[in-house]
Amino acid sequence: MNPAPAEPRKSRAFTLYLSYFRQAYELSPVLTIATACTALTGSMIPLGNVAVIGIVVGRIPAAVQGGPDSAATGSALMWTVLAGVLLAVQFVLGGLQTALTTVLGNRIDLAQQRRLMTAAMRPVGIADLERPQIASLVAVGGETMRPWLKPGRVAGGFCALFTARVGQFGGCVLLAAFSPVLAAALLCASLWAEYEIQKVAKRETAHHLGANQLARRQDYFYELAVTPAAAKEIRVFDLSGFLRERFADSWQQSARFLFAQRQPRSVLATVLLAAITLGGLGWLTGRALDGAIGIGWASAYAQAIVMAAAMLAATTLARTQSALGLDTFARFEAAVAAMDRAGRADPVEGTGAVPAQGLPQREIRFENVGFRYSDSAPAVLDALDLTVPAGESLAIVGANGTGKTTLVKLLCRLYEPVSGRITVDGRPLRDLSPEPWQRAIAPVFQDYLRFELSARSNIGLGHPARQDDLEGIRAAAAEAGIADRIDVLADGWDTVLSPGHKRGTDLSGGEWQRLALARALFAVRHGAKVLVLDEPAANLDARAEAELYRQFLTITEGLTTIVISHRFSTVRQAASIIVLSEGRVAEQGTHDELVAQGGQYAKMFRLQAARFHEVPTT
């Protein structure tokens, strides 16, 4: 979980505000200028209305004395109309400002997410994306879905803060004409109360956003109780009472923690502000009753006192809102900068410009390849030598952690070897243009994507530029054995594969795997030359997987195919099989050859085969 937002230091906040509004102006100069104008005008009108209402009140005694037809009554009515007009303009500008800041904020949110998406997808490799520090920064993109954290809210928060500040300081300036001492005391008390309350608000906000252990524990028990992942064990083991008790206990601890944040200083500051406000109003009333000031001026000064004091709540709320959004904006900027640096430092980026279309034609070779995921991690591959003949099928077997999936990642150029090299038709892989080479590979990874899109798109995204090839999409689905299932869905090929959508549906694990296979086959139909299947049918039973792979060998005849599987009924059909052990090729040959050798492959094969030949005794 990311740390909770905290109000930035003033110098840093000023820099962030400048960056924020510079981006806002670049996105929409008209919207930004219009927002600034409405904020400026809207903040001044209340001060003007204080003076106008004071004049209206001051005219009332003369109007009462002169009667309805007197000049004093006409003057009072005129000022009253002006006060009404100013109030109406204030309401209109307030609504307009809300609309403008909402639209501007939404554009900023969209722009920030697009920038981060672009930066995150820029590197050809994925090493930096899998680093925890980078992953934590990039996760900020999802936080724009949480309304109180949206960077776009800074626009509204800043305008509200500006308006509140004008009212706070402007009220004190007006009051200074009556008593500079009272105005200074009111301003100082207001700023102190704001400071103390803001400290409490930051701690409470951090708590609610899960920045301390109590909040995280409370959220954990709640999420555990209401999300599907834990539902089965909660019911089977009767954990509902346990979770409710733990949640209630965490809630009570949180409540005590929040109450403890209300320190005496914040209470003392607000009490002092209230005392100065009430004392000032009392003193002002006394001076008016003594005739020292007129009733009109007394009304204006009273409004100024109330306005300056009442801005406390507005400034605190606006500062909190702005701080939350500004912190998210800052982390967006940090994430984009980190991904830009990762893109420039990507070892795959810009390593070659040789066209990769049509490759391989002869072979792919791993020559003395070594790889580890970090400097402190153990070697996954160690001096690996392997030749993959073009147009043939190769199966890879081995215990977990021997580097089978890593080998595929290196082939896809998602990572670069630490040592050694990979060649394609004798040319170093680093010399090939990385993006076209990746398009030449059609992989089905273990953690394949399940797009919450139509069945048609789920397959067509194997080659996005040819999603209009409906015949090819259907053919790929038929080859993968999933076409008949799609035909009977509620909206057929346009059915969204997500139960969360209206008329949407979900597929079984095996059906999703067949869909992923269809996507890879669609890529093959449009130019991919290497088909990679990493546990391609783990959700199918052994017989179904063997039959599916048999069909694949027929469908993909003449295509370079690499399959990783723990099931020997599948791998035995490959033209060549390798056994990985300790990051190297320990054995290689056909199924019959490897069984005859009596090595690791033969032992694993016999162990697996024995499970299917055991006869239960009674």
Query: Is residue 97 in some structural domain?
Result: yes
Residue 130 inside a domain? The answer is: yes
The full length of the chain comes to: 618
Q: Could you tell me which of 386, 387, 394 has the C-alpha nearest to residue 591?
A: 394
> Which ranges of 227-346 does DSSP label H, i.e. alpha helix?
231-236, 240-261, 264-289, 295-345
Number of H helices, E strands in the chain: 21, 10
Give me the pLDDT at residue 618, please.
Answer: 39
* Amino acid letter for position 360: P
How far apart, in whole angstroms, are the C-alpha atoms of residue 69 and residue 80?
16
CATH number where 81 lies: 1.20.1560.10
pLDDT tens per residue across span 202-234: 766 655 555 556 667 777 888 888 887 788 888
Helix (H, G, I), strand (E, B) or coil at 415: coil
Say whether both 518 and 543 belong to one domain: no
| Pick from 61, 71, 74, 50: nearest CA to 295 | 61
Question: Same domain, yes or no, for 311 and 421?
Answer: no
CB atoms within 10 A of CB 491: 12
> What pLDDT score was predicted for residue 576?
95
> CB within 8 A of 43, min separation 6: which ones?
162, 163, 166, 167
383 in the same domain as 298: no
In the structure encoding, which two tokens stand for residue 455, read together? 């069945």
As a whole number of angstroms, the distance between CA 32 and CA 101 comes to: 9
Say yes or no: 462 and 605 in one domain.
no
466 is in which domain, residue-wise?
Answer: 450-527
Distances (CA, A) of 544 to 25, 160, 488, 537: 59, 64, 21, 8
The last residue of one of the domains, among 314, 344, 374, is: 344
DSSP percent split of the chain into helix, strand, coil, nearest 5: 65, 10, 25
Burial of 428 (0-12, 13-18, 19+ CB in 10 A): middle
Euclidean distance between CA atoms 46 and 303, whole angstroms: 10
| pLDDT in the model for residue 555 | 76
**CB contact at 8 A, 75 and 27:** no
From residue 223, give the alpha-carbon distance in Å to each of 234, 243, 281: 12, 10, 51
Q: Which residue has the tokens 């299932």?
A: 485
What tokens does 508 get? 């079984």
Residue 79 lies in a domain: yes
421 and 377, same structural domain? yes
Asked if residue 47 belongs to a domain, the reply is yes
Whether residue 577 sits in one domain with residue 555: yes
Together in a domain, 506 and 574: no
Co-location of 135 and 16 in the same domain: yes
Verify that 122 and 150 share a domain, yes or no: yes
Q: Which of 499, 502, 522, 521 is nearest to 450 (CA)?
A: 499
**Looking at residue 506, which CATH number applies to its domain?**
3.40.50.300
What is the CB neighbour count within 10 angstroms for residue 67? 9
In a 13 Å sphere around the CA of 146, the CA atoms on its Cβ side amount to: 15
From CA 525, how far away is CA 517, in angstroms rounded?
Answer: 12
The reply to whether 220 falls in a domain is: no
Residues in the chain with pLDDT < 50?
A: 1-6, 614-618
CA–CA gap between residue 532 and residue 520 (Å, rounded): 9
Residues 416 and 478 in one domain: no
Phi-psi region of 420 (alpha: psi -120 to 50; beta: other; left: phi over 0): left
Q: How far apart are CA 531 and CA 440, in angstroms?
A: 9
428 and 396 inside one domain? yes
Of the residues 506, 527, 548, which one is the last residue of a structural domain? 527
Identify the pLDDT of residue 400: 86
CA-based nearest residue to 424, from 415, 432, 414, 416 = 432
Measured distance CA(365)–CA(351) in Å, rounded: 18
**Total number of domains constituting the chain:** 3
188, part of any domain:
yes
Same structural domain for residues 296 and 334? yes
Closest CA to 429 of 382, 379, 380, 363: 363
Other CB atoms closer than 10 Å to residue 184's CB: what's the count?
13
